[in-house]
Amino acid sequence: MKIPLSSPDITQAEIDAVVAVLRNGRLSLGKKLEEFERAFAGYVGVPHAAAVSSGTAALHLAIRALGIREGDEVILPSFTFIAAANALRYERATPVFIDIDLNSLNLDPNRVEEAITPRTRAILVVHTFGVPAEMNPILEIARRRGLLVIEDACEALGAESGGKKTGTFGDAGVFGFYPNKQITAAEGGMVVTENAEITARIRSLRNHGRSVSGTGSEHGELGYNYRLSELHCALGIEQLKRVESILQQRESVALRYHQWLHKFPALQLPLQEIPGGRISWFVYVVRLPRGTTAKQREELMCRLALRGIETGRYFVPIHQQRAYDDVPVRMPLTVTESLASRMLALPFFNSITHSQLDEVCGALEESLR
């Protein structure tokens, strides 16, 4: 594609940092891992962080470390990336899908209470597209009903609500560093928490259940190979150093899209700001005109692809995917299903030029006609 959907922003500083790790010979479980964890915890504002191999691994280990197990139910949106539900099923927990808010696209707090049963153990909140979810009512329900709260902030690094960063409200928060994220480590994830015991257990689980303080032959429980290499950590450290400038760049790109596309009344644009909070721009997703079918969206995407412009579908609801045919839907997901076929992600990355963005908007206008 001439204009890709996303593109990582890698500078010479990142390249030099990775090369330096290759030269020093310590490629795993070294000082860069510790440095990345400390720096990340400091940035989001929590005492503890544990780096793992992916955002999905972060979700899985947070769920396991919090004691969610077979037979437990966890409430979450269906309008999100499938990893959120997959991580629950790794532990044989049951995903319970509820609808989303029409404006924020986040889990609707008004639908949480009706989804709670005696088997409900937790609420998994996703900060969709970098827009902070409405945490106060969710936390109030969780406290009153004795539920855990896990935040999937993989798309929301740096987002804030009430002066507090996403990922720090619940019992554990998770982040991802895939190349399309605000900062990348090529791969990787992070679990953040106020709880030192949870962090210690995650650090053990990521390394085959090995005792953190013991020898290499001591394994206290079944664990996983979810380690994050020193190379990934070195890249992540350098990216994190300029995270604020990256977020500002992405905000500028979103603003230019707004300025270009607001003149098309048939399109509904994403939220530009939220009261008392900060959006961390992960993607730029527009809603196509009401009544647009999935087939019509595919035709539009093909027309744009012929122009060298890559676009994306965000998201195919989890409950509509074949891998989840065996998971019953207990309540209507009206907003989720009405919006899913209309969502279109446009090229969005730090270094997109004004001319590229203008070309995308011009091509979109012609294609819609």
In CATH, what number is assigned to the domain containing residue 224?
3.40.640.10
Structure-token match 């995917």, residue found: 321
Whole-angstrom Cα distance, residue 192 to residue 345?
29
Q: Estimate to the nearest angstrom the gap between the alpha carbon of 54 and the chain centroid.
A: 11
101 and 236 belong to one structural domain: yes
113 and 233 belong to one structural domain: yes
| Amino acid 212: pLDDT | 72
Token pair in block for residue 93: 């927990």
- Domain end: 208, 241, 274, which one? 241
329 and 236 belong to one structural domain: no
| Amino acid 52: pLDDT | 98
Residue 6 lies in a domain: no
Residue 2 lies in a domain: no
Domain that holds residue 344: 244-368
56 and 158 belong to one structural domain: yes
299 and 284 belong to one structural domain: yes
Residue 254 lies in a domain: yes
Three-state DSSP state, 95: strand
Catalytic residue from among 2, 164, 165, 181? 181
Is 181 catalytic? The answer is: yes
- Domain end: 198, 216, 241, which one? 241
Helix ranges, the chain (H): 12-24, 31-44, 55-65, 83-90, 112-115, 135-145, 196-205, 230-241, 243-261, 294-306, 334-340, 354-368
Three-state DSSP state, 111: helix
Strand partners, 213: none
145 and 190 belong to one structural domain: yes
318 and 175 belong to one structural domain: no
CATH number for position 331: 3.90.1150.10
178 and 260 belong to one structural domain: no
Give me the tens of pLDDT residue by residue for the chain, a chain 369 residues long.
899 999 999 999 999 999 999 999 999 999 999 999 999 999 999 999 999 999 999 999 999 999 999 999 999 999 999 999 999 999 999 999 999 999 999 999 999 999 999 999 999 999 999 999 999 999 999 999 999 999 999 999 999 999 999 999 999 999 999 999 999 999 999 999 999 999 999 999 999 999 876 556 788 899 999 999 999 999 999 999 999 999 999 999 999 999 999 999 889 999 999 999 999 999 999 999 999 999 999 999 999 999 999 999 999 999 999 999 999 999 999 999 999 999 999 999 999 999 999 999 999 999 988
323 and 215 belong to one structural domain: no
